[in-house]
Structure 1
Amino acid sequence: MEKEYPRPYLGASPRYSFVQSFIAQMSSKVYIMSEHSLSTHEMRLTLAQLDFWEEFSLHPDQPVSTVAHYLDIQGGIDPEALFKAIETTVHETDVLALRFYIPEGQTKPMQHCDPCRLPKLQLIDLQDRADPYQAASQMMQADVAAKLNLLTQPLSVQWLFKLGADRYLWYIRAHHIILDGFGMVLIEQRCAKLYAHYLGKGDAGAPFHSFAQYLDEDQSYCASPRFEKDRAFWDDYLKSVPVALPILHKEDEYYGGEETGLSFEYELPKPLINRMHQIAAQMEMGWPDLLVAISGLYLFYHYRQQDHDGQQALPLWLPFMNRWGSVGAYMPALLVNILPLFIQPKPEATLGETLSQLSCTLRKQRAHGRYRIEQLATDQGLSEGTRYFFSPLVNVLPFDAPEFEGCTVKHQVLASGPGDGFNITYRGRSDAEALILSIDADPSMFQPQEFEQHSQALLAFLEQVLDGSAINIRCDQLLK
């Protein structure tokens, strides 16, 4: 029987992050491991890891798949407790110790946890610099831009910058082959829990599950009836809409060299966020799903205007958390999935009807979201060295900054890996406060003026749709 794990709810409390909620559930367990040992036996790579391995093999000189965050921690900091909390968290996170290698006589890579690869926390004192924050920023940016060899170099660093007696920056960098963005958040939240514990403000909670546990569970999933049901769902879904998904030859991937990508960033105003909450409640859907649906509709009508043949459906790519009901829900690693959502509004349907239909489809897809996009590509006959072209992509990241006892914390994402073509990201707290809209595009696909018009048009569309009176407007009237 498949073991049940806590399943956090992504909606309810406006002041309590679902990540914090999950950690609270885990911490209520009575077991605490006094020693978190690393499993050093040989392990296969997951399908997601193999995709990044192939990227590295084809483009070894491109530092493209780096994920990096930092926390700006200010206040009455206990340096010893902070240092110990970070070190303990790192020791629990066994993927930070992964070493990749190709066994003699074979062509496929394998991996194992090497204790020597665990990153040592480096304390970097910059108090004597004229501008300590600027000095730290330069060091972090240089590290993000550095090349990383998956065969010869450690895959993560942990730096703690001391900018003053009451201010520290904790910098975490890793290759995407071992960590995704949610894995980074788990690390940060776990450290905050341990920091409070070392201050005598609560128990230590449970350590992370091991990567080997996840691999065993994933192998069982692939041999289970659930796997076959998921395969059938996605096969039927792709057949339901006669639209070809775009394909990319990995050897042709271009990472821009010295060329800077196009980007736009805007903090959504409070009145707009309030209306978003009202409409989400009216439609009985979470606000992240509402933003996905609105963005998808905008992109559908935008691309249809560019397509004289009258595009009937738009494949929209969405990252899926792919963790709930699994040991992966409490284990930092690369688990995020990417799956297609077809945007195909009926011209006679109202906006409200279309939003309801998309919300229903998203719920169905999440029930089958463990099925990997790499497996789906194989099922659909994609050859080795190719993958789907994940554009346009919409990502909503409702993550709260961790709460360090007695301190204020600001969370900053420095790198989240490369994107394809055109990407829309909404990043903010779980209650949608301080919600930032980021748009990124490949400069080889868009002229700067076209990109700017695109960005402003999306903002105007958000304003139009989040006007409560738009719910009863027919979809084919939205951009007129």
Structure 2
Amino acid sequence: MPTPDSTAERHPLLAAQEGIWTGQQLDPDTPAYNTAEYVQIDGPMDAAVLDTALHHVVAETEALNVAFTVDDQGRPWQISVPADDWHLHTADLTAEPDPHAAALAWMAQDMARPVDLTRGPVFGHALLRTGTDRFLWYHRVHHIALDGFGLSLVARRVAEVYTALMTGEPLPDSGFGTLASVRAEERAYRESARHSKDRAYWTGRYADRPPVATLASRSALPARTFHRRVTDLDAEQTNALRAITRKLSVTWSEILLAVTAAQLHRMTGAAEIVLSLPAMGRLGSVSLRVPAMVRNILPLRVCVTGEDSLRDLAARVCRELRAGLPHQRYRYEQLRRDLKLVGGQRRLSGPGVNIMPFEYGLRFAGHRSTVHNLSAGPVDDLSVNVYDRSEGAGLRIAVDANPDLYDEAEVTALQQGLLSLLREALAAPDQALRELCEAGVPAPVAVVDGGPLPGPVHPVLSLIADHAAHRGAAVAAEHDGHSLTYAQLLGSAREIAHRLAARRIGPGDLVALALPRGLDAVTAIVGVLLSGAAYCPLDPVAPPERSAQLLDDARPALVLTTGAYASGFADRAVLLLDRPDTDPGTTLPTTPSPQDLAYVIHTSGSTGRPKGVEIGHGALAHFISGAMHRYGLRREDRVLQFAPLHFDASVEEIFLTLCAGGTLVIRTDDMTESVPRFLDACVRLGISVLDLPTAYWHELAYAVSTGAAALPPGVRTVIIGGEAALPERVERWRKAVGTSVALFNTYGPTEATVVATVADLHDLSLAPADVPIGLPLPGTRAAVVDGELYLLGDNLALGYRGERTPDAARFAPLAPLPGSPRAYRTGDLVRIGEDGQLRFVGRSDTEFKISGHRVHPAEVESALLTHPRIREAAVVGQTLADGTRRLAAHLVADAPAPTASEVREHLRAHLPAAMIPSAVELLDRLPRTGSGKIDRGALSAPLAPALAQVPTAPDRPLEQTITPLERTITGIWQQILGADAVCTHDDVFDLGAQSLQAIQVANRLGVELGRDIRVAWLFQYPTAAELARFLDQHSQEQAASAGLPAALLTDAVLDADIQPAAGRRTGAGRRTGAAPGVSDAREQTERPTGRDISCRRGEVNQEGRIL
């Protein structure tokens, strides 16, 4: 084809072509945009006649007679250039050992050649003979010229012309329209009211878009090639699919979309799946008759729960499709621009599902043919391509994957899982999808080994006693100016052990500890273990009903506490730590055996009640040995104890430090009033190792990266865990801190003794968005079965406390492995990267993680249903677009319906604060699936935070202005709460704010204002107006002494046990606690502007739907 000259007719690119042009320019030599297929013709073919037919069709197809150029401003243009410099390639391959394989090899070689868009031709053709009367007509075209439907128009026209030439019949008219008509129609649409209406639909639908669910741990540009796995559904399977569509009143394509979404949910745990759905975009358009590139992408948002059946999910897909299809002409590229998702790794939708239902039905002079796709274009991530193009041959499903993101084994596993789920769902369309495939062929097992332990495992009590014997004067623990040496610690612990023994407490018994952080608590823990008993830590200021529930489950022999908390356990056997009694000189037991119980810690239960996890001495010792080696702890280290005792992170902090011979530095309450104060205290206390909840570390990383605070120079190791670390925060940390400080990302359920896997996030070889959970600790293993993580090793719990529960089945032999070792089924979905490290991708059930708390919605629902006016309740976990995590409660109530504040006050009497929903919605009825179950998928769309129905004070005037400081405060609260509006006089705790969110706001506000903002002030001044007034009236120095008393913020950070007991002018005595995640950095780096909303609280809630 000649080079286009300056006189050639040029036209602007169609919208669909612009994206392809841009992608090609990123890698000009890539063949990724070559699309190709071959038509297998069973019958003799005349190559000369086919050549004539092809030249005729090419000449009448405008889109094939083009080249592309760029003007002086860099704008691309399409040039009309006759495509006459090409020929039909022919080859007889019948002499080859495998003619068909030889043909495919030739095609692959041709597809791998890049196209020069400035010269053309943009297509190629070949006729390959593979049998006596079998021919393969191969045709390739650059995607910028034709989409899939356009290619089908050309192929159908070629067959039509060839047949006419062979039979001597007159050539019918092509019926092709012009590209000019398509350009004119596109231009008119952009200027129409329809365009504005479509834009409003899509931007509204995805304003609260969920995070993109994908199986890949990172993103990549489309590769030059792709992995493909192809499977044909035979006629029987295809007929079964078509039959079930009539039964469910949906289309077969909607069933395949539903199954794909279910499989992605199963492998990622995402509550919402957003698929990328290529759309023909031609119905009702002139382009229906024009071979061209006009294809669009529709994001298809599908809510999925484990309770959904195929009937439920297909109906939901059908509704979503029917809502979106009328708006399908609005360009996907423009929608991404509208949502500010252009560039970088910002995505709107995940894996693609390309349904091509248009049948060719091609006949060449009476000879039948079948069409086989070779490439549908570039693959960003994953693409499931479904073809229905042959007569009676059934459907063909091809799974394509970007080789830079997936290996061939992963693609095969995905394809097999998808087909298995499809078969099972078709056989049982009303059965919960999560229950399907569990009884089928065992899935392959991938094992990740943590390697051997560095040496023999020693019991923790022996290690502590050894330090007391050989380094007795070394400081074991410090708190608020007081300290204990190892000798003093062991001596005091033995006194407690003797006191317990005098009460006949010993091996086989359980002692509940109701103590705050402090030296007494550490001593008591060691003392209980020395007595031979095990300990069960309780929150000393938990709601009485919650404490009673845990004690009923644990059945301890007594409660060890102090006089300050004794009244909460009046009906229990109590030993007061601060009131010594006589020691009769009892004898203590010898070192416990590995199977003896060491401690019990409760987690949320799927049955609606908390469950106590029993950890043995052997598991504890095994964990300490592996973790001490992995973290590299030394006796010179000073380790901060951050967590309260009823979190198993305290086990790591206390026993790792004492077994290593280091000094445990127990934090004081005032340390966490702000991130700068926290880090200043770490400098003063000489901390070298920080062990922090990930949610709090997110705020610390943000403060350090913005220069609002500095990491203490003495800190050499930071350990985080409790929830997934945000890649953006990891990247901030790396840029601000570098590799001088070790950063360990840990993962582990309580059932595996605190931590099971560890990743070095200070490893600069990791990609910016790659945040693995790492490798198992030494001496342990992990197995991945059908995407789900199983843990193995001597660090596993003994089981659950009390009678057998449904959750006990999670501990079971893993039969596929030699010896069927005992394993714990985590319910977490992971993938193994090329480096062998594990990557967390989601949950397989409804369990939700908030600030390190495992929350089963069933437990919250059970507490809600104890309210006398609540008839039905459904609780779901929600992840907002900015990464914020929270619980939302949906209620059906009798009149008069309770307000959100009343609902929360009721729950505070039953549950820890982390389990209190941040959003509450009152419904006339809960949505149900076709099988009558609660449709949790329909409830997963984020709500505005619950707005309390608080009467408006009659003497409170409607404000007409809002100050810049008030706007800043309300703007930050809006970001953190995910609220549409926070008014200056709204009590944020009535809106569902909890302690972590208060920490986040204090941190962001401090960065914004360039001054230290105490968390305490947000509790004392819970409205933006009050806080702004306080900050305006007090200088930095004055405000520094204006905080709340320490008692008001006891255990205020991440402990789920904040109890503001005084000082609040509204809502005094309300309990708050750990709350959903953290906001996205893109919002945090901009000055929050908020909305100029001045309103009375009573006016926020006029519709009465959101409480």
Smaller-chain TM-score range? 0.7 to 0.9
1:479 to partner: Cα distance: 6.6
Q: Which residue of 2 aligns with 1:75?
A: 43
Q: Which residue of 2 aligns with 1:126?
A: 92
Q: Which residue of 2 aligns with 1:48?
A: 16
1:473 to partner: Cα distance: 2.8
The residue identity in structure 1 corresponding to 2:258 is A
Q: Tell me the SS of whatever aligns to 1:62.
A: coil
The residue identity in structure 1 corresponding to 2:265 is F
1:128 to partner: Cα distance: 9.0
Matched, 1:314 2:273: yes
RMSD: 3.1
Q: Which residue of 2 aligns with 1:460?
A: 420
- Counterpart among 368, 371, 384 of residue 424 in structure 1: 384
1:232 to partner: Cα distance: 1.5
Q: Tell me the SS of whatever aligns to 1:472.
A: coil
Q: Equivalents in 1 of 2:30, 2:381: separation in Å?
A: 18
Deviations 1:98-122 (A, max 9, x none): 111112x32111112111x356342
For the Cα contact (< 8 Å) 2:271–2:305, is it kept in 1? no
Question: Cα–Cα, structure 1 residues 138 and 278, in superposed 2: closer, same or farther, change >3 Å?
Answer: closer
Question: Cα–Cα, structure 1 residues 111 and 203, in superposed 2: closer, same or farther, change >3 Å?
Answer: closer
Q: Equivalents in 1 of 2:88, 2:131: separation in Å?
A: 16
Q: Tell me the SS of whatever aligns to 1:354.
A: helix
Matched, 1:111 2:71: no
- Counterpart among 337, 340, 356 of residue 378 in structure 1: 337
Q: Equivalents in 2 of 1:346, 1:457: separation in Å?
A: 18
Q: Which residue of 2 aligns with 1:473?
A: 431
Q: TM-score, normalised by structure 2?
A: 0.36
Q: Tell me the SS of whatever aligns to 1:185.
A: helix
Choose 1 or 2 for highest CA Rg. Answer: 2
Q: Tell me the SS of whatever aligns to 1:158.
A: strand
For the Cα contact (< 8 Å) 2:234–2:393, is it kept in 1? no
Q: How many residues align?
A: 425
Q: Which moved more, 1:327-336 or 1:154-163?
A: 154-163
Greater relative contact order structure (CA < 8 Å, 6+ sep): 1
1:376 to partner: Cα distance: 0.9
Q: Which residue of 1 aligns with 2:191?
A: 223
Q: Equivalents in 1 of 2:31, 2:104: separation in Å?
A: 18
- Counterpart among 209, 226, 232 of residue 200 in structure 2: 232
For the Cα contact (< 8 Å) 2:399–2:411, is it kept in 1? no
The residue identity in structure 1 corresponding to 2:90 is I
Q: Which residue of 1 aligns with 2:157?
A: 190
Q: Whose helix proportion is higher, 1 or 2? A: 1
Q: Equivalents in 2 of 1:402, 1:435: separation in Å?
A: 16
Matched, 1:300 2:265: yes
For the Cα contact (< 8 Å) 2:220–2:404, is it kept in 1? no
Matched, 1:342 2:310: no
The residue identity in structure 2 corresponding to 1:56 is Q
Q: Tell me the SS of whatever aligns to 1:187.
A: helix
Q: Equivalents in 1 of 2:12, 2:249: separation in Å?
A: 42
Deviations 1:249-284 (A, max 9, x none): xxx844556xx7443222224433222111101122
Q: Which residue of 2 aligns with 1:364?
A: 323
Q: Tell me the SS of whatever aligns to 2:138.
A: strand
Question: Cα–Cα, structure 1 residues 313 and 120, in superposed 2: closer, same or farther, change >3 Å?
Answer: same
For the Cα contact (< 8 Å) 1:389–1:420, is it kept in 2? no
The residue identity in structure 2 corresponding to 1:342 is R
Q: Which residue of 2 aligns with 1:156?
A: 123
1:461 to partner: Cα distance: 0.9
1:159 to partner: Cα distance: 3.2
1:179 to partner: Cα distance: 1.3
Q: Which residue of 2 aligns with 1:6?
A: none
Question: Cα–Cα, structure 1 residues 316 and 82, in superposed 2: closer, same or farther, change >3 Å?
Answer: same
Q: Which residue of 2 aligns with 1:412?
A: 372
Q: Equivalents in 2 of 1:153, 1:200: separation in Å?
A: 33
Q: Tell me the SS of whatever aligns to 2:63.
A: helix
Q: Tell me the SS of whatever aligns to 2:387.
A: strand
Question: Cα–Cα, structure 1 residues 76 and 256, in superposed 2: closer, same or farther, change >3 Å?
Answer: closer
Q: Which residue of 1 aligns with 2:253?
A: 288
Q: Which moved more, 1:320-329 or 1:167-176?
A: 167-176
Question: Cα–Cα, structure 1 residues 172 and 450, in superposed 2: closer, same or farther, change >3 Å?
Answer: closer
For the Cα contact (< 8 Å) 1:90–1:119, is it kept in 2? no
Q: Tell me the SS of whatever aligns to 1:466.
A: helix
The residue identity in structure 1 corresponding to 2:329 is R
Q: Equivalents in 2 of 1:474, 1:124: separation in Å?
A: 53
Deviations 1:321-371 (A, max 9, x none): 111111211211111111111120356655323321211221222221111
Q: Equivalents in 1 of 2:349, 2:84: separation in Å?
A: 32
Q: Which residue of 2 aligns with 1:36?
A: none
The residue identity in structure 2 corresponding to 1:91 is A
- Counterpart among 106, 114, 138 of residue 147 in structure 1: 114
Q: Equivalents in 2 of 1:423, 1:475: separation in Å?
A: 22
Question: Cα–Cα, structure 1 residues 457 and 141, in superposed 2: closer, same or farther, change >3 Å?
Answer: closer
1:77 to partner: Cα distance: 3.8
Q: Equivalents in 1 of 2:226, 2:409: separation in Å?
A: 13
Question: Cα–Cα, structure 1 residues 359 and 118, in superposed 2: closer, same or farther, change >3 Å?
Answer: farther
For the Cα contact (< 8 Å) 2:40–2:369, is it kept in 1? yes
Question: Cα–Cα, structure 1 residues 276 and 208, in superposed 2: closer, same or farther, change >3 Å?
Answer: same
Deviations 1:191-210 (A, max 9, x none): 12223333245761433112
Q: Equivalents in 1 of 2:205, 2:77: separation in Å?
A: 34
Question: Cα–Cα, structure 1 residues 173 and 436, in superposed 2: closer, same or farther, change >3 Å?
Answer: same
Unpaired runs of 5+ residues, structure 1, are 1-38, 305-310
1:377 to partner: Cα distance: 1.2
1:165 to partner: Cα distance: 8.0
1:465 to partner: Cα distance: 0.7
Question: Cα–Cα, structure 1 residues 168 and 336, in superposed 2: closer, same or farther, change >3 Å?
Answer: same
Unpaired runs of 5+ residues, structure 2, are 1-6, 439-1107
Question: Cα–Cα, structure 1 residues 444 and 82, in superposed 2: closer, same or farther, change >3 Å?
Answer: closer
Q: Equivalents in 2 of 1:219, 1:454: separation in Å?
A: 41
The residue identity in structure 2 corresponding to 1:408 is R
Question: Cα–Cα, structure 1 residues 122 and 296, in superposed 2: closer, same or farther, change >3 Å?
Answer: same
Q: Which moved more, 1:208-217 or 1:382-391?
A: 382-391
Question: Cα–Cα, structure 1 residues 463 and 165, in superposed 2: closer, same or farther, change >3 Å?
Answer: closer
Q: Which residue of 2 aligns with 1:180?
A: 147
Q: Equivalents in 1 of 2:328, 2:238: separation in Å?
A: 28
- Counterpart among 53, 57, 76 of residue 85 in structure 1: 53
Matched, 1:212 2:171: no
Q: TM-score, normalised by structure 1?
A: 0.79
Q: Which residue of 2 aligns with 1:58?
A: 26
Q: Equivalents in 1 of 2:51, 2:226: separation in Å?
A: 36
Q: Which moved more, 1:193-202 or 1:359-368?
A: 193-202
Q: Equivalents in 2 of 1:50, 1:312: separation in Å?
A: 33
Deviations 1:52-106 (A, max 9, x none): 1111222112221101122233424455543332222111111111111112x32
For the Cα contact (< 8 Å) 2:44–2:135, is it kept in 1? no
- Counterpart among 362, 382, 388 of residue 402 in structure 1: 362
Question: Cα–Cα, structure 1 residues 194 and 40, in superposed 2: closer, same or farther, change >3 Å?
Answer: farther
Q: Equivalents in 2 of 1:318, 1:174: separation in Å?
A: 21
